Structure 1
């Protein structure tokens, strides 16, 4: 008798935790697990700004899947189409080949991509901070601007290269601008021909407050820290038009700049749009036990699913690593129950709070409702990240990197990553890779 096939799409927090839970709970021969992901690692997204700023090496935030999963077949590719009627996924392998994978139970955890808006020039000029490749590219790009500015005698060109714009006043944008500004300020000391006073950083957000989920006091504190370092924080403002050498804002200001880093929210993976299922704000509508209505054997969780938040009234869980991790663990328990003819249970988890590392000794945190800042917040923030990293090797590397960076600083080296190719959001995050439902059904036959 053929074993039950469980196929998990996505190697992020939700997918990996689901696979880990199944490996621990499945009896020998009870089912086989497959995990489809283009990467061979689980990316720890909350520390990605520290990779861009050179505090951490990429290996620190990308523990390999084969250290964490031992009974799961890892399929190197991405699902580009689904035929739920015949229970087949169309997988594009990293070699470019298309193959079909059959399933009995499908766990959708494809995650999210950078949310793009209909702003002239945005897709061509903006760089994201959602993948390891994007973080590596942004670091190279920022250091390249310093190198080129130092080599130029044109004052206008220098002004353009030394002015940096980050859009998005949430967790990712705030940490990104904090880390990268520290990088450029420290690097400027190695450039005798550069006036550090010419380096300008801007943080923009259409919201009236910075990180409102932190509360007013901590949001103001984070804003004070950034402004004290020289970052210009503009709230209620966004980008109206992006060009190669200048950025026009919605308040009609024009910033001469060749760097636009876009962290203004996320959107569910485009894969969700190919499933022909009901969505809300792009996220797949699911029941509290994470089953997809109308699709037997299909479950969705993480950033791509609107999982009901039962701790609040008429709310869905926000797309955070904290919820994705716990949803993955809960999904594993539900699948084990399903296989054994037991009842599945609704997901319920009260948010534990938010931590924001602003670099050096600066941080703000709100664990369990307690508001912290300074060294205490920094200790809590880094302690939380260490606890969340899934391998002892990743934890050791991260601690070693923190110590090394604090004691010896950075070497500000460019790797030359994608130096001859524009790193557009579409290319970096493969948002154009998905099939139409009709094409997926055709290939699945």
Structure 2
């Protein structure tokens, strides 16, 4: 009798934790484990701002799947672009461009999220995201390039537009991105004799009335004060009305000369979820507390792409799309897949949020572990200690720690590698948001499997 196939889609926090537990708990004869992912690494997303700032190298946050798994999982190098639950198959576009239908007995969907955008003129053409390793590397090159070009320019208008930077999104990602990159440009400008440091201006804007409301009023005020002291202009209750190649217009009527717009205003579930044809909640797949998908036999969904009920908060709340929840959901989903294989009852996911850590670069940080409010060096120690512990492989831990020590002793470097130097990288280019199939197209790819059932 053939072994059942467990197909895991996505190598983020949720997917990798699921695979690790499946490998640990299942005997080789119980199931075949497949992992669909276009890249052979797990991205440690919370440290991307430090990659963009050059504090960490890209390899430091790209955790090798070959090291973090036990070699029992077969990695399918490609992206899932459609799902046919009736045929029990996932349509996969491999990195070679070949499209195949991969069947499954149990499916775990953890494809993560993409940058959430709105119908704002010029946004998708001119904004840059901070969701992938390539985007972080691109933004670093782009920011340093603006300094290089401004230093060489004799046009004051061009210089002004290249030295203004706008980050949209006052949450965790946006705040850290603005803080880390502002620190980079402040250090770099000393190497440019023709640039006045006062010309470099960073703006952080968010439509919300508070900066990182998850921190609470006091720590939020501390973080806001740190940014103000750094010279970052924070505008709350404001968003982007229009984006252009050389300017950004805000909803309060201001128009800034600007050639760098970094968009971190939230995330949306992977478009893969829409190909199932089942119910969603604001784009996230509706699931039961045990993470099974109603109406889809053998399908589990978790992480940023699923609306997993938050049983601790209750009142219909769903778990926020954070790494903390994704990792624990991955382990629970694996336990439920194993229980399903062995004919045992499934258990609901329950987890109380443990807090938030925010690394603003240098000695600046604010953290709220287990409800305890910290700032400054104690907060920095907690933030970096948490991230260092969460990085799974020994090689990655060594790289991260070495990079932090090197940056602390030697300071920043300002090398521009020339990554995509002649091509403006858009959100669509980096996040492949137009790669997914419609339901009819999915059925075309799975027709042979349907006929054989």
Q: Could you say which TM-score interval applies, normalised by the shorter chain?
A: over 0.9
**For the residues of structure 2 that align with 1:384 and 1:143, how far apart are their CA atoms?**
30
Q: Which moved more, 1:410-419 or 1:270-279?
A: 410-419
Partner of 2:229: 228
Q: Which runs of 4+ in 1 moved over 3 A?
A: none
Matches within 5 A, 1:236-251: 236-251=237-252
> What is the DSSP-based 3-state SS (H/G/I as helix, E as strand, rest coil) of the residue aligned with 2:370?
helix
Partner of 1:156: 157
Partner of 2:206: 205
**For the residues of structure 1 that align with 2:75 and 2:416, how far apart are their CA atoms?**
32
**For the residues of structure 2 that align with 1:231 and 1:157, how far apart are their CA atoms?**
21
Residue 363 of structure 2 corresponds to residue 371 of structure 1: no
Matches within 5 A, 1:3-14: 3-14=3-14
Cα root mean square deviation, aligned? 0.6
**For the residues of structure 1 that align with 2:65 and 2:87, how far apart are their CA atoms?**
29
**For the residues of structure 1 that align with 2:7 and 2:31, how far apart are their CA atoms?**
10
- Give a deviation string over 1:147-202, Cα, whole Å, max 9, x none: 00000011111000000000000000000000000000000011111111100000
Matches within 5 A, 1:277-426: 277-313=278-314, 314-426=316-428
Partner of 1:165: 166
What stretches of structure 1 of length at least 5 have no aligned partner?
none
* Deviation of 1:410 (Å): 2.1
**For the residues of structure 2 that align with 1:414 and 1:7, how far apart are their CA atoms?**
40
**For the residues of structure 1 that align with 2:130 and 2:22, how far apart are their CA atoms?**
31
> What is the DSSP-based 3-state SS (H/G/I as helix, E as strand, rest coil) of the residue aligned with 1:412?
coil
* Deviation of 1:28 (Å): 2.3
**For the residues of structure 1 that align with 2:144 and 2:20, how far apart are their CA atoms?**
39
Partner of 1:114: 115
Partner of 2:450: none
**For the residues of structure 1 that align with 2:206 and 2:429, how far apart are their CA atoms?**
25
* Deviation of 1:66 (Å): 0.4
Partner of 1:131: 132
- Give a deviation string over 1:332-385, Cα, whole Å, max 9, x none: 111111111101100000000000000001100000111110000000000000
**For the residues of structure 1 that align with 2:290 and 2:417, how far apart are their CA atoms?**
45
Partner of 2:73: 72
**For the residues of structure 2 that align with 1:74 and 1:165, how far apart are their CA atoms?**
39
Matches within 5 A, 1:244-263: 244-263=245-264
Residue 15 of structure 2 corresponds to residue 24 of structure 1: no
Partner of 1:435: 437
* Deviation of 1:227 (Å): 0.6
> What is the DSSP-based 3-state SS (H/G/I as helix, E as strand, rest coil) of the residue aligned with 2:63?
coil
- Give a deviation string over 1:4-28, Cα, whole Å, max 9, x none: 0000000100000000000000012
- Give a deviation string over 1:203-232, Cα, whole Å, max 9, x none: 000000000000000111001000101000
> What is the DSSP-based 3-state SS (H/G/I as helix, E as strand, rest coil) of the residue aligned with 2:198?
helix
**For the residues of structure 2 that align with 1:419 and 1:437, how far apart are their CA atoms?**
37
Partner of 1:44: 44
Partner of 1:94: 95
**For the residues of structure 1 that align with 2:257 and 2:142, how far apart are their CA atoms?**
16
**For the residues of structure 2 that align with 1:136 and 1:417, how far apart are their CA atoms?**
7
Q: TM-score, normalized by length of structure 1?
A: 0.99
**For the residues of structure 1 that align with 2:324 and 2:72, how far apart are their CA atoms?**
25
**For the residues of structure 1 that align with 2:396 and 2:168, how far apart are their CA atoms?**
30
Partner of 1:105: 106
Partner of 1:268: 269
* Deviation of 1:441 (Å): 0.8
**For the residues of structure 1 that align with 2:147 and 2:224, how far apart are their CA atoms?**
25
* Deviation of 1:274 (Å): 1.1
